[in-house]
Structure 1
Amino acid sequence: MTASRIAPLALYQEVAERLRQRIFSHELPPGTWVDEQALAAQYGISRTPLREALKVLASEGLVTLKPRRGCYVTEISERDLDEVFAVMALLEGQCARDAAQRADPAQRARLEHIHADLEAAAAAGNINGFFEANQAFHRAVQEIADNRWLLQVITDLRKVIKLSRHHSLFSEGRLEQSLAEHRAILDAILACDPEGAEQRMRAHIESGRAALARIAGAKNRAA
């Protein structure tokens, strides 16, 4: 592994962010043993800030600290995904409900603008662009809901989901389905329909989990 050295004045948060991105990109895949000595040498730091960074990642569920065995990148199971998505559906559903009640004209316009980006990416078959616009849409709904506790928990759970080796948008037909689901959520928010917004957001999150399960099933059958 190669990595640029971190300046001496950097804090352990920067180390944590560097490692976080390497985990999300699967440069450090699930199940990988974290070689503290090698990482400390690569970054040009002592073991102390590295260990503090690993504690941060452990609190986020991204690494697992095993007594007398060291630190490993967390492996997420199908059961884990079932449980995380079930919680996500509840939390994001609540955000959508709150957003439908609180959104002002400027915030509604912003959601419409983001949805236009989703439509453009879908029309171009641009999965990366769609993913970015999807993230922006969900984040905007959460910001409109204006509940920092919900936002914090959702952010941490989304980090865990990124440990999955698969992406729901690669499931056949999922991109078009996701676009339609976002449109339905947006329509409910624009109509100031909190119950409809909550129900549609929950259904959207559940559909994402089902798409991941189809991908995993197909890969298992191929193996």
Structure 2
Amino acid sequence: MTLFRANVGSDASSAKIAMHETTLRGNHAYDLLRREIVSCRIMPGARFTEHEMMERLQVGKASLRIALQRLTEGGLVTSMPRHGYRVAQVTVKDVDEVFALRMVLEPLAARLASGRVNRAQLERLENACRGKLPGDVGNQIDFFLEANRSFHMAIAMSSGNDRLCRALSGLLDEMTRLVALGFGVQRVRPNIENDHTLMIRHLVAGDADAAEEVARRHVETFRDMVMEKVVASLKEAAAIVPVGAPAVGWKG
């Protein structure tokens, strides 16, 4: 009886370890594939099979399926039975909706964070946004996107509003793909002028009105730049995308 219990316990422990390892591999595959999609290395509308993606990412079938399930649930990938998968398209409507919500949340975050920010942290992230790395424009844009997201999330976290942080985090993830499509495909870096510097100044001084206004203007300006670049990229991908069209995307 004692030996039987020991064997049962050993089997259960082994099963837990195996399940944990499977989860870790699935999470790794998810991170790899999501990064490829968000950075637009895999373009919106692109179709692929499990075998193609296993070879591209060098992951196993079980791990890839975990990743695909999560990406499907998140709306970045659509399953096409017996035909593989398709990456979600990007539309002009996506740009409008993401920035409409940023227009509400980011000025509010700036107002709430006034007088509560870590100046050294924001200045370090701002310098990273402006820095140019050796290598191609694509790598520079990847670095900018990461630094820019961290800059805006640092302000949101300083607001002390957890729900605002969660909502803005999701929006910035979506925006990353829009910026990658627009600026990455066009091979140019975003130009944010001095908005971040002004925002830091007002946030540190505790001037909520000025910080809110700069945040609103920054989102408006960046929205126009992203819209222009996204439309250009979609047209290059053989799509006709009239500005303001409700849901016209890349047809790949």
**TM-score between the two structures when normalised by the length of structure 1:** 0.73
Equivalent of residue 209 in structure 2, options 188, 195, 201: 195
Which structure has the larger Rg?
2
2:65 corresponds to 1:31: no
Gaps of 5+ in 1: 1-7
Aligned partners of 1:146, 1:70: CA distance in 2, in Å?
A: 43
2:126 corresponds to 1:110: no
* Closer, same or farther: CA 68–172 of 1 in aligned 2, 3 Å: closer
Contact 2:153–2:169 (CA under 8 A) maintained in structure 1 = no
* Closer, same or farther: CA 9–174 of 1 in aligned 2, 3 Å: closer
Aligned residues: 207
Map 1:1-223 to 2 at 5 A: 9-11=21-23, 12-40=26-54, 42-46=58-62, 49-65=63-79, 70-103=84-117, 107-118=118-129, 121=131, 128=141, 130-164=144-178, 165-167=181-183, 175=191, 178-216=192-230, 220=235
Root mean square deviation, CA, Å: 3.6
**TM-score between the two structures when normalised by the length of structure 2:** 0.66
Task: State the percentage of identical aligned residues.
Answer: 29
Show CA shifts across 1:125-158 (max 9, x none). Answer: x954655543332132122123333222222222
Aligned partners of 1:67, 1:150: CA distance in 2, in Å?
A: 37
Gaps of 5+ in 2: 1-19, 239-252
Show CA shifts across 1:153-203 (max 9, x none). Answer: 2222222223332129x798952xx13111221122122122322222122
